[in-house]
Structures are given as C-alpha cells and as structure tokens.
Amino acid sequence: MIAVVGSVNLDLVARLEKLPTPGETLSARDFDRIPGGKGANQALAARRLGAQVRLLAAVGDDQLADDALALLRAEGVDTGHVTRVPGTPTGIAMIEVDDSGETTIVVVPGANAALRIDPSQVADAQAVLTVLEVPDEAVSAAAAGAHDFFAINAAPARPIPPDVLARADLVVVNRAEYPKIPGLETARRVAITLGADGAVLLHNGTQVSTSAAPVVTAVDGTAAGDAFTATLMLGLMRGDSESEALSTACAAGALTASRPGAQPSLPTAGELAEMLRR
C-alpha cells in the first residue's frame, strides 16, 4: 500500500492560443473544472498503475470538495483519511494552458494549508509519498512515519526540512526548482525533470542516469510531473534498474502531457505499456 500525504484542489482551467504577458487581457477558447492537486494527482497516478493507495489530505466543507474527490473515489483510492475543515474552502488552482501545452498555475491552498497528520497514519505503508503543497508539519510527519520507501516531490519549491531531506529515498524536482532548494546536492537520490528533454537522476549531486522523453504533441503539461513522480517511485519499489525506472517515468510524463486536464490525463498501466512498446 502507498500512502500519499498531499494536496487536493479543484483545477479551474482556461485554454487559449497563447499565454498572456503581464498586463495583457486575452479571451480563452474554453473553460473547465477538473479534479487536481499534486497529492491527489500522484495518488491517482499510482492507483491507475495498479497500486493500492491511501490519500491523507484536507478539503473544505463546500461543494468543491466533492467535485475535487470524485475521480479518486470512482477509481478506488482510499479517501477515508481525507478530512473536511469547517469554515475553510477547498483548495483551487487557476490554470492557463496555451496551444503548445505550456501552462501558468496559481494555487490558492484553502484547506490544504490546514493539513496535519500523525506519523502512525502512514506507518503501515510500503511507501510514503508527499509534496510541498501542504505544510511542513505534515511533510515532516510523513517522513517520520515512513518505515520503508519515502519520496518527496519538492514542489512548489521551498526549503525542505532537514529531517525530511535526510530521510528521503527519492526527491523529485523540475529544472527550475532544483537550484531553489538548498541541500539537494547532498540528497541520496534526486530526479530532475527536464520537460521534453527527459530527466536525469543524481546520487549525492552526481549524475548517474539520464533518459530522453518520447516525442509527443504536447497538449497540457499540468500533471506530467505527477505522473512521472508516481511512476518512478513505483518502478524503484518494484526493483527496476534506475535507468529503466527513469525511462518509464519519462514515458508516463510524456503521455500525460499529450492529453488535456490533470487527473483525466493520467495513464493506466495498459496505456503506459502500449507507449513503451512503440
């Protein structure tokens, strides 16, 4: 069982030809409300790849909460540890997507900022995965409760508590986040995603593996990093070589980026296997 300690958002997505520059007003082509949040996305990504998944998160006491949790519940993620915070709205993300698949994202944390967990809630998990869209207290508790594999997707970028970084078996960041987080050069294993250029894997700051990304037509990169993170973690847990796990994770990220929306775009195990056979 995988325990994910992370965020739940409802994504408010506008699609337009190009992203606006500062001060510019543009008309969007369409608008949608889609379940998202880095914690929820990674929980669903792992579930679609066949893992049993428990999500520990916080949502508001509003209608948005049910919309944000709909796909997780429908596909069998255990949401019994998702708490509702009275008087607090569910987190939202305002996302702009242009015709090349590039995005701008502004997150309003809402109930995610109130998440607190006890380490005992993840103590029975084979792996614990957390993100930085929740408070340091929850991140540190996740690390303290992890008895086996512990991974952190360090996004959005901010300093990682030293106890968490020392405990991490895997840290995932993108190339913009890597220089903003102190201490990553000392971490045991860091994966850096490079978008269309693939990804690299570092041990204690030294590159040990690299992988190209499959060529796809980018539609929406919103959850590509979430698919990458979940896939890489599961591959390493399964005993795949680091190079194999990295290339599979790059394929998952590319497949996700080729489809619209956050959670709807996450691949199943069958879809990922088909892409790898190409």
Q: Which of 262, 227, 256, 259 is nearest to 92 (CA)?
A: 262
100: amino acid identity, one letter: S
Alpha-carbon Rg of the chain, whole angstroms? 17
Give the residue numbers marked as catalytic. Answer: 226
